[in-house]
Homo-oligomer: A and B are copies of this chain.
Amino acid sequence: MAQDKQSIAQASAIAADDFAPDGDDTGRSNLFTIGDLAREFGVTLRTLRFYEDKDLITPQRDGLNRLYTRRDRARLKLVLMGKRVGFSLNEIKDMLDLYDLRDGQVMQLKVALGKFNEQIALLERQKKDIEQALTELRRTVSVVGGLLKEKEQAAG
């Protein structure tokens, strides 16, 4: 089953800002090390490298060392949000790529909106499945519980 363990950690919500054309890169602390981001978002270094390998985030380099910009950080935020709501990394990549095309902004937002709605439908189905499973389990528990009572009385 999915949605397993640690659904804890960073659940930094998405803001309209995260969908802005290009995060204002004129602040001060604009560069992060891999460790910085890992700590901030509660992921491992391996994870960040993995995401890079999958072209989800593409930090610059200072020699060999990775340097993440605010834009990278924003992307990571979107990736993690995507994961939380059940998208696969591939789906997330598709959306981010689409976003990068920037063919007018509107198109991509519409596409994303579509995927979000699909995902909502999917999650609702899963929720139903789980509810059915719960129903069956509870019924079974009562059946088995009944048997147990009998047995214990008989043996008691």
Contacts and interface: CB of A to CB of B under 8 A. Distances in A.
A133 B16 contact: no
Interface residues of A, number: 50
A43 interface: no
A139 to B, nearest CB: 7
A125 B4 CA distance: 9
A1 interface: yes
A105 B147 CA distance: 10
Residue with the greatest number of chain B CB neighbours at <10 A, chosen from A3, A7, A120, A139: A3
Copies in the complex: 2
A112 interface: yes
Interface of A: 1-3, 7, 13-16, 19, 81, 84-86, 105-106, 109-110, 112-113, 116-117, 119-120, 122-127, 129-134, 136-141, 143-148, 151-152, 155
17 contacts: A1-B122, A2-B126, A3-B129, A7-B132, A13-B136, A14-B139, A84-B132, A84-B136, A109-B144, A109-B147, A110-B148, A116-B137, A116-B141, A117-B141, A120-B134, A127-B127, A127-B130
Given A1-B123, A15-B143, 13 more contacts: A2-B2, A3-B129, A14-B143, A16-B147, A81-B140, A84-B133, A86-B133, A105-B151, A113-B144, A116-B144, A123-B137, A127-B127, A130-B130
